[in-house]
Structure formats: C-alpha cells, structure tokens
Amino acid sequence: MINLFYMEGLPVAVMGLGKSGLATAEALTQSGADVWVWDDNESSRADALSKGYKVVDLTTADLTELTTIVWSPGIPHTHPKPHPVALRARAANIELVCDIELLARSERDSAYIGITGTNGKSTTTTLIGHVMEAAGRRIAVGGNLGTPALTFPSVGAGGSYVLEMSSYQLELTYSITFDVAVLLNITPDHLARHGGMDGYVAAKKLIFHRQTKPRTAVIGVDDPICRAIWEELKAKGDQVIWPVSALGPVPGGVYAADGWLVDDTFGAAERVAELAAFPALLGTHNWQNAAAAFAACKAAGVPTPAIVAAMTTFPGLAHRQQLVRTIDGVRFVNDSKATNADATEKALATFDPIYWILGGQAKETGLDGLEAYAPRVRHAFLIGEASDRFAVWLEANKVPHTRCGTLDVAVNAAAELALAEALPGACVLLSPACASWDQFANFEKRGEAFADAVNRLEGNAVPGDRA
C-alpha cells in the first residue's frame, strides 16, 4: 500500500466508497491522516462505519478544515449536473482529486506509463504490463483497469506504474507527466459527463499534459479525431511522437500491414512479428492494441525481441473476446466489457456467423454504426432494458431475434440454435453494446454470469420466444 506521508495529521475527505474509495480511505488512515468519508448510498456508509471510518455528511458539514477531497471519478462534478458536494467544495476553495493524483504526489521518483482511449485501453494496459513484467521490470498495473492505485506497492526509482486512465480520472489528476502517454482512439462516449464531444476530447488530451522530450506520445491515427491530435502535437514538437495504426503504413510509427507488425519509429520499416503469432490479439482492433503496446514498451526501453516474445504469451483480457468454451465446434465468447457500439463492432468484425447476445442499459449512441455487420448475425438474443429499442434496430436491419429478458435464458436459447445449425465457425457472442447496471453490478459480474451459464450447458437449452 502506498504511504501518503505528506497527508499525516491533515484532515482529508473521501467522497464515494466504492473499491477505490475504500482503498483510498485505508491508505490515508494508515498514513496518519484525519479521514472523513461519505457516500450517498446508506449501505455504503454503514459498511464504512463498521470498518471504523469517520462518516461525515459532506453535504451539510463545515468543510473549512479541509484542503482536499478525494473524489470518486464516477460521481459527476461538472456535467451534466455537479454533485452538491462538488459545488460546496469549489465554493470553499477545496481541491477535488482522484486517488491517482495522491499516488503521483507520493511516488515522485517512479516512471509513469498512461493509457487512454474510448476502446481498447484495458487490453493495451494489460499487454504493456505483461511485456514489462516479462522483461524483468519493476512495475504495478491498474487504475481504471480495476486495481486501485493506492493498493500498489512502492516501485521507487527505476520502477514504473502502468495506468489505464479514464477521461474522468484524467480530469482529476494534475501532478503526473507521463513518461509514455498512449491515446488509442476517440469515438463518442460519456458525452453527458463532459458537456459534449469537445469536453470529452479535451479530457482525453490531458494524457499528454506537460510532456516534453524525451517523453513519448503514442497516438492511434485510425480515427479522424486522434489523427487531428497527432497533427497538432507534431506541429508543436514538444515531445517524441509515434503514431500507430491497424490499417496500414504510417511514417515514423508502428503499424499492421500485410499480416505483420511493422516498426518504422526510426525509419527502417522493420517487420518485427507476424500478427498471427499473437493468439490473444485477434482482429483489427487488437492490431492497434498490439502496435500501441509495442510502441509504448519500446519507448520505455524494452528491446524489440523481448517485446515480441512476451506478446506471443499474452493470455488476453478477461471479459474482452474471452473464449469461455467450445462445444461441438461452437465457440462461446465473453465480450462483456463491450459496453458501447464501438466496442461491440470489434467483436462483430472478428467472428462469423454470430449468435449475438446483446442488451442492458443502452448508451446514447445505441447500435449506430453496426449496420454493416448485420449479415454476420445469424440470430440475436435480447436482454435487459434496451430490448425494445434494440429490437427496432434489429428489425430494420433484417436480423432475426429473440427477446430473452435475462442472460441465462439468452445463453440457453443461443446455444440451442447454434448447436442445432452447426455452421462452420459459429460463435455465441456476448457483446452487449450496453452498460450492465440494469441487471448486474458491473460488466465483470455480467461476464461471470455468462461463463457460469455456458459452463452449465449439457445440451439442454431453453427456447426463447423468437421474433
């Protein structure tokens, strides 16, 4: 656990008592701070009280003693409507920071590798961590990926923190200048939280905050927004800039072309590995992840042969195109982490034919942009709140579908049809294009429920009410 020595004796509040909030409260307590905690959820407050924390209602308490509130990034502090505590804090000149900011203030001698993007950042973060560890580097990996930053060990000088950074976290982290900063892609997501697309893009660009040479920016250039950011940074020339692409050659960068991963960072356009050698990195989207991870690790000083060797042993990311089981030639793939259409597109582009399980709590963009993949879908199985809305899209795109309601029913119905039709290459794919919160606590729980249902299959399936 990180020692927040500079907080000793100081009053500091923690707003939001999820996984990272509780870890923050524990680290602050162990460091001798006077810790106040608050959560709008009564059961979360009761749990904190049972653990011995000082529960203080930040919506009414006198905040003048505080200089800092460690803010859960999931709680709105600006858009679409700021939480009352955020308004009170700003009126009292109290800073709002996230736990990663406290890590940065404590571990000043360590190196930092930051990864952001709308999609692919968890896979890329995990892959970078896998390579760095295999190369014998002293590292800790986490952040938005799931491991709270303040539970990390101290890696000290010569060590590196590999951090997945959400747009929410970037807005609340001020002290890190990333030695290697990776921006994979930007497509519409979380727009309400950022006041629109401009605010979302501005938050993502914070990954490059204060970078100067020899620090390195790694930028995916396969979408127009990131390509424009690449051009902007090139024009300024403040840091080393390596573009990456899954779609073909890009001068001075790392890219996928003709089935190969190619390194042109020093102008040699060297083929470093066949992409087929990376079994956990299937599909064009994963080629971008592979190129970005290669570039990031090279920028961090890992030799090319070590990077390639480690990437061939990468096991993949749980809940991201994770093969759960194959039954009579039918693959059952858990892509629960695909919480928007853009993420789901990556899976739809990878498999064919598909028995698609989708639905949950829909994002603003719904299924927009997936029309070209409708012919790959043999049958769709709808779950959760989005069923009515998504059924309209499926009908418009001539995709047969079943309203299943719950995930267990969908798995059984999809398995029954896929096994009966026995088509070559068939895949039962959970790729919901939705948040999980209507039926599950998080996408991990949804993915675990899918895997459990698949592992219970013994040839008996529950038919759905097909539309």
CA nearest neighbour of 131 among 270, 242, 260, 278: 278
155 and 161 Cβ atoms separated by less than 8 Å? yes
- For residue 246, give the DSSP letter: S
List the beta strands (DSSP E) in 177-239.
180-183, 216-220
The reply to whether 3 belongs to the active site is no
Tell me the CA distances in angstroms from 320 to 144, 241, 442, one per residue in order.
15, 28, 14
Phi first, then psi: give them for residue 403, nearest 5 degrees: -85, 110
Q: Is 118 known to sit in a ligand binding site?
A: yes
The annotation status of 24 as a binding-site residue, yes or no, is: no
Pairing, β 401-405 against β 330-334: unpaired
**Distance set, CA 267 to CA 186, 254, 286, 407 (Å):** 27, 10, 24, 50
**236: exposed, middle or buried (Cβ count in 10 Å: 0-12, 13-18, 19+):** exposed
Residues facing residue 405 across a β-bridge: 383
Closest CA to 261 of 252, 249, 251: 249
CA 258 to chain centre: 28
What SS3 class is residue 63?
Answer: coil
Helix (H) / strand (E) element for 45: namely helix 42-50
Comparing C-alpha atoms, which of 251, 227, 226, 218 is closest to residue 127?
218
From 190, 209, 234, 445, the catalytic residue: 190
Measured CA to CA, the distance from residue 161 to residue 228 in angstroms comes to 28
In a 13 Å sphere around the CA of 360, the CA atoms on its Cβ side amount to 28
* CA–CA–CA angle 111, 112, 113 (5° rounding): 130
Known catalytic residue at 93: no
Catalytic residue among 77, 83, 121, 205: 121
Task: Dihedral sign for Cα 442, 443, 448, 452, please.
Answer: positive
| 120 known ligand binder | yes
Alpha-carbon gap, residue 227 to 70, rounded angstroms: 34
Please pick, among 130, 144, 319, 401, the residue that the annotation labels catalytic: 144
Question: Can 121 be counted among the known catalytic residues?
Answer: yes
User: Taking the CA of residue 201 as centre, how many other CA atoms within 13 Å lie in the half-sphere pointing to its CB?
Assistant: 14
Nearest to 405 by CA among 368, 358, 447: 358
Residues with a known catalytic role: 121, 144, 190
Q: Binding site for ATP: what residues are annotated?
A: 117-123
Residues at the binding site are 117-123
